[in-house]
């Protein structure tokens, strides 16, 4: 039986991961899964154990680490927009608390006589990249983030790699594509519309499209994200080598291609619910985002995403579209 701690287990990806582990445990027996987050939705994924608290609570984090889980998924962070408007909060949670987490793991590793060395899978982001970009970003392209969130993710990757190199833990950072189609409500993230223009029409609602249809971006489904995490927990790290931050596979497509995929699957009436309403501010932000990747290493390591945006829409319909 594998014992698993999911830090940020109450969020959308954490819940998808918990569900996925319920169906396909990491070990032959059922896993023992602890979810840790600020709070949990009532209808969330089942789990043996839920712990409510803040990642900045060092004593609480240390008490969870003291359970010596085999695998720790670290998904918790202040999101991009909030880290940009609240500089201290972003650096405190995404910076200082992550460092303290690593030190707590190291202390427990030492306390165990250097026997306990957990797999730590950290969700990084393509926000570690900043424009200008090549058409396809390859595995040796620099991290030059242009947001505090991106800087914090890049720094966390560097620390996780160094703690791994020293043998305190076995870490791997995975840079998730923009997750699409996110279930639930729209939020104020600049990327929200990528999900919104698919999700809202499929639910019979209008969706605003704030950018030009020729905008190209990089996507994977929530199910693919859970699969990346599960694969990162099981992979042979000797095959990964010393560079412990990976660009992941995804689907590169334009908004127009997204819309045409929706038309193929759901028809003209559904597509007609998309209302173009250009928003210069959002257009400017999105222009600074990566468009496409050549994630050679992750592909060789058998990380798998969808192969088309059609698949991404069908995943949403199968897993998250409310049945009417």
Enzyme catalytic residues: 149
Cα–Cα distance between 73 and 66 in angstroms, integer?
15
Closer of 50 and 106 to its own copies (Cβ): 106
Cα–Cα distance between 46 and 60 in angstroms, integer?
22
Cα–Cα distance between 127 and 143 in angstroms, integer?
9
Closer of 222 and 295 to its own copies (Cβ): 295
Q: How many residues does the chain have?
A: 324
Q: Does 145 bind its own copies (CB under 8 A)?
A: yes
Q: Does 130 bind its own copies (CB under 8 A)?
A: yes
Q: Measuring CA to CA, which residue among 165, 84, 163, 118 is closest to residue 7?
A: 118
Cα–Cα distance between 28 and 17 in angstroms, integer?
17
By rule CB under 8 A, what string of x and - marks binding of each residue 36-65 to its own copies?
A: ------------------------------
Closer of 86 and 311 to its own copies (Cβ): 86
The tokens of 191 are what?
A: 């990327």
Closer of 69 and 130 to its own copies (Cβ): 130
Q: Does 154 bind its own copies (CB under 8 A)?
A: yes
Residues 222-261 that bind its own copies (CB under 8 A): 242-243, 245
| Least Å from the CB of residue 106 to its own copies | 9
Q: Does 124 bind its own copies (CB under 8 A)?
A: no
| Least Å from the CB of residue 98 to its own copies | 12
| Least Å from the CB of residue 121 to its own copies | 19
The tokens of 140 are what?
A: 């040796």
**Residue 250's CB: how many other CB atoms inside 10 A?**
29
Which residue of 159, 181, 253, 259 would you call a contact of its own copies, by CB under 8 A? 159
Site stretch for its own copies (CB under 8 A), options 11-19, 138-146, 277-285, 304-312:
138-146
Q: Does 169 bind its own copies (CB under 8 A)?
A: no
Residue 321 CA: distances (Å) to CA of 184, 204, 250, 310, 314: 9, 11, 21, 15, 10
Closer of 113 and 241 to its own copies (Cβ): 241
Task: State the Cα angle at 317 between 314 and 322, rounded to 5°.
Answer: 175
Task: Give the chain's radius of gyration (CA, Å).
Answer: 19
Q: Does 123 bind its own copies (CB under 8 A)?
A: no
Cα–Cα distance between 142 and 60 in angstroms, integer?
35
| Least Å from the CB of residue 78 to its own copies | 14
Q: Measuring CA to CA, which residue among 119, 237, 248, 230 is closest to residue 175?
A: 248
| Least Å from the CB of residue 246 to its own copies | 12
Q: DSSP state, 248? A: P
Closer of 60 and 144 to its own copies (Cβ): 144
Find out whether 200 and 186 touch, Cβ atoms under 8 Å. Answer: yes
| Residue numbers at the binding site for its own copies (CB under 8 A) | 87, 130, 134, 139-146, 148, 151, 154-155, 158-159, 161-162, 165-166, 242-243, 245
């Amino acid at each position: 039986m594998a014992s698993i701690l999911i830090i940020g287990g109450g969020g959308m990806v954490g819940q998808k991961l918990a569900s996925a582990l319920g169906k396909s445990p990491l070990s032959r027996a059922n896993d023992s899964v602890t979810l840790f987050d600020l709070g949990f939705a009532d209808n969330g994924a089942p789990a043996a154990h839920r712990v409510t608290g803040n990642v900045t609570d060092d004593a609480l984090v240390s008490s969870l680490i003291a359970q010596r889980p085999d695998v720790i998924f670290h998904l918790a962070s202040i999101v991009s927009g909030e880290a940009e408007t609240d500089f201290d909060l972003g650096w405190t949670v995404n910076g200082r608390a992550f460092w303290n987490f690593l030190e707590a793991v190291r202390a427990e590793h030492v306390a165990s006589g250097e026997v306990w060395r957990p797999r730590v899978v950290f969700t990084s982001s393509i926000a570690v990249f900043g424009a200008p970009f090549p058409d396809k970003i390859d595995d040796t392209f620099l991290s030059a983030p242009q947001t505090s969130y991106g800087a914090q993710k890049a720094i966390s990757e560097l620390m996780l790699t160094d703690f791994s190199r020293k043998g305190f833990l076995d870490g791997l950072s995975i840079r998730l594509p923009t997750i699409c189609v996110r279930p639930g409500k729209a939020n104020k993230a600049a990327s929200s519309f990528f999900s919104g223009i698919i999700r809202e029409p499929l639910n019979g609602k209008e969706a605003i499209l704030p950018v030009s249809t020729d905008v190209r971006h990089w996507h994977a489904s929530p199910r693919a994200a859970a699969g990346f995490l599960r694969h990162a927990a099981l992979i042979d790290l000797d095959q990964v080598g010393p560079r412990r931050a990976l660009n992941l596979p995804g689907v590169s497509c334009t908004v127009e291609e997204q819309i045409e995929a929706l038309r193929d699957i759901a028809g003209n009436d559904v597509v007609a619910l998309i209302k173009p309403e250009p928003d210069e501010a959002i257009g400017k932000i999105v222009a600074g985002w990566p468009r496409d990747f050549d994630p050679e290493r992750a592909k060789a390591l058998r990380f798998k995403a969808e192969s088309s945006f059609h698949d991404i829409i069908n995943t949403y319909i199968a897993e998250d579209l409310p049945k009417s």
